Chains A and B, each alone.
Chain A
Amino acid sequence: MKKTYLFTLGLAVGAILPFIGCNKNKDIVIGGVAPLTGEAATFGTSTKQGYDLAVAEWNAKGGVLGKQIKLAFADDKGDPAEGATVYTKLIEQDKAIAILGTVMSKVSLAGAPICQAAKIPMIATASTNPKVTDVGPFIFRACYIDPFQGTVGAKFAFDELKARKAACLFDVGNDYPKGLSEFFKAKFTALGGEVVGFEGHATGTSDFKAQLTKVLAAKPDLLYISDYYSDVAIMAKQARELGFKGPMLGGDGWDSPKLIEIAGSAVEGCFFTNHYAKEDKAPVVQEFVMKYTDKYKAAPDALAALAYDAANIMLDAITRAGATDGAAIQAALGKTDLRVVTGQVKFDEKRNPVKSAVIIEIKGGHEVYKTTIAP
């Protein structure tokens, strides 16, 4: 009997030990979150590689505050419920002093209140919905926000593509596409254009023909599709099947090698707004593209660039703060003025960076830099 007790006790201690052990290390732990699986899976892969590259560089230079940096990574699966779980896990189990991520606005919106409550500074990478940083003073982001992106898209559609009638298509179950389409509509209408169709669709559906048929009946010059790449690819194909020949335009959710892989010729001659262009001649961009390509044998997309930037902004702030407590890092983040891959970053009073957007064209099956539009 005694043996059984001892055995059980041993098991219990054995089960708890690893948790005690992991808090004793001398490294500085930074949490990283991204969707490695789910509808935005390629975003997650790029984002994780962006974090890893930045952390590896800092560690090679001696880490931060004289300590090595350890990245505790978690997959949010593109799901807000899963996101809430992993943010809590990173803060409570891994004892992260700051968190990078995540990509999708709806998941960042689930994680942000947790970071805010724990006073852990968070930098969302590609979450462009304005509501994300409204959660509180500890929440920052590395990307510009949807009102700006939607405005840039509308200006480009009206001035450069000479579109006068546009139709918007978006996922109504997701804050990012919905917000983006609304901002596009507002600006496009203000410029004197007409939005002849404004159709949502349910999350996860693959049949967009009913909505497309409806909006195409009004003969738009342009389709504004504010979804993520996997929806966009299918929608583009179905739009071409229904006889639409004009250009399609979208946001940074299009930025994935899968888009052209799945949609093929259907997205030829289409455009999207993005955070940076690989062709940018700035040394910081070229150096990043070179290192990334070297390490991962693939060209970095904007998600990778934003993740790399988020990590650099955070580590720069920790260095300037000279401390690892949340309040000190938060104060230092507010004073950021750093040239990173996606532009010169300064935070406004809402903790959103003020920087320019680029337009990418899909030409000959490749993403080609078209123009830069300043804020």
Chain B
Amino acid sequence: MGSIFSPQQIVNGLQLGAIYALIALGYTMVYGIVRLINFAHGDFFMVGAYAAFGSFFMFNFLLPPGNGLAFIVLILAMAAGAAIAVITDYFAYKPLRYKPKLSSLVTAIGVSMLLEYAFSAIPVIGPSPRGFPEVLPKQMFHFAQVDISNYVIVDLAVAGVLMIGLTFLIQRTALGRAMRAVSQDKDAAKLMGINVDRIISLTFLIGGAFAGAAGLLAGLTYPRIQPYMGILPGLKAFIAAVLGGIGSIPGAVLGAFIMGIAETCATAYNSLLGEGIAFVILIVVLLLRPSGIFGEKTADKI
């Protein structure tokens, strides 16, 4: 029971992993298609959390907290994440698409800070942390030795449904085929009549929507939001994507769950180790298997 690998800790780790997975997917997709590490991605997650917060208060007048309201809030959080991602791409990354990679990377860091400080400066948002409302009434279940709230189920279910949807989209639709083509060879894809810019926008849209969904789930599970909340989860999800093999979708998901469980178990062993374990994993992966679990061999520098 007191072991660091107790079933309860694994459940905690899976819950955290589900949130990391949704963020990591956006990192890995954007990298797969435009070879850009989008450091502003963690901030799209933050935007999603604030959108969820705002839309809760907008619709709480019409609907009581419950599944219906949660669904509306989820859709709006995803829409906000998607919108900010597409806008960022349009204004910050698109003009630099055929410039050296380093320019976009530095721009990404700039966009990240811009979003954080802009959100702190907007009076209605402000730099102080806010408590996140209970969009769903909390219910508790007790199985064997494990206490599970409906939030755990919601986190895993939302992440699962979105991931299955994404896999279907990429493997089975014309759009997915176009995305795969662009990730393999942009110029050849263009010659085949694929609108590359549109595919890139759509990639940002999907990645941003996933980050927005993660923002709502994080708000529910760890009910405190603030403009800098995206930095650490963003970094950790990025490490999860690297661990799984950046550019690989199953890799990002697997990496995220490994990270979630590793972090929870490390915290249970020593509470400060948990914060650092992500970076230990990053160093070990970069030393032993730089291409990650499912990654292709690449000579590109980050």
Contacts and interface: CB of A to CB of B under 8 A. Distances in A.
Do A and B interact with each other, yes or no? Answer: yes
Q: How large is the interface on A (under 10, 10 to 19, 20 to 34, 35 or more residues)?
A: 20 to 34
Given A234-B223, A243-B147, A41 B140 contact: no
Contacts of B138: 241
A32 to B, nearest CB: 19
Q: How large is the interface on B (under 10, 10 to 19, 20 to 34, 35 or more residues)?
A: 35 or more
Nearest to B8: A213
Contacts of B8: 213, 217, 242
Interface in B146-160: 147, 149, 151
B271 A172 contact: yes
B140 A199 contact: no
A209 interface: yes
B272 interface: yes
Contact of B271 (A38, A211, A262): A211
A38 B127 contact: yes
Interface string B248-278: 0000000000000001110110011011000
Contact of A211 (B6, B16, B221, B268): B268
B134 A241 contact: no
Given A41-B128, A241-B151, A243-B142, A207 B223 contact: no
A211 B265 CA distance: 9
A134 interface: no
A258 B142 contact: no
A202 B267 CA distance: 10
**Among B8, B138, B140, B264: residue with most chain A CB under 10 A:** B8
A210 B224 contact: no
B9 interface: yes
Contacts of B229: 206
A355 B15 CA distance: 46
Interface string A241-283: 1110000000000000010011010000000000000000000
Contacts of A234: 222-224
Given A202-B271, A218-B2, A234-B222, A39 B129 contact: yes
Interface of A: 37-39, 41, 77, 172, 199-202, 204-207, 209-211, 213-214, 217-218, 230, 233-234, 237-238, 241-243, 258, 261-262, 264
28 contacts: A38-B127, A39-B128, A41-B129, A199-B271, A201-B271, A202-B271, A204-B232, A206-B222, A207-B12, A207-B16, A209-B12, A209-B15, A210-B9, A210-B263, A210-B267, A210-B268, A210-B271, A211-B271, A214-B2, A214-B9, A218-B2, A230-B129, A237-B223, A241-B140, A241-B147, A243-B140, A243-B142, A264-B134
Given A233-B223, A264-B134, 6 more contacts: A38-B128, A172-B272, A213-B268, A214-B9, A241-B149, A262-B223
